[in-house]
């Protein structure tokens, strides 16, 4: 989940044994924070996102202490949300498996 209010925004980036962890990002501005992103410890990051069209939000997370840049693309619409991502460098695949979410109706 993410929230687009205020000057910087939390993104629930995953869970571990201690619970949900978040990273913060700016909209049109860079925000410094830390994030796990597949590492056993939190790394310093600078993150910023922007709407590339009315249904697509693109978030860039730069890992300050490594050469990695992660780009996450969220596409909203038609009662669903799609998340895809990629890294600039990797020893394996650079594209993430896309995830699709749909609302749960009670």
Kindly report, residue by residue over 34-86, the tens digit of the pLDDT: 887 666 778 899 999 999 999 999 999 999 988 989 999 999 888 888 999 99
Rounded-to-integer distance, Cα 8 and Cα 28, Å = 10
Structural contact between residues 82 and 55, judged by C-beta atoms closer than 8 angstroms: no
Does the global pTM surpass 0.95? no
Tokens, residue 4? 């687009």
pLDDT in tens, 82-101: 999 999 998 999 999 999 98
Q: CA-CA distance, 75 to 100, in Å (whole number)?
A: 9
């Amino acid at each position: 989940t993410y929230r687009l209010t205020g000057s910087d925004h939390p993104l629930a980036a995953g869970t571990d044994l201690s619970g949900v962890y978040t990273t913060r990002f700016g909209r049109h501005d860079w925000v410094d924070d830390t994030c796990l992103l597949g590492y056993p410890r939190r790394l310093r990051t600078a993150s910023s996102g922007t709407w590339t069209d009315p249904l697509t939000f693109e978030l860039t997370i730069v890992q300050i202490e490594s050469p990695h840049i992660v780009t996450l693309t969220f596409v909203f619409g038609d009662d669903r949300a799609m998340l895809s991502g990629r890294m600039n460098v990797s020893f394996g695949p650079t594209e993430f498996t896309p995830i699709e979410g749909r609302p749960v109706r009670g």
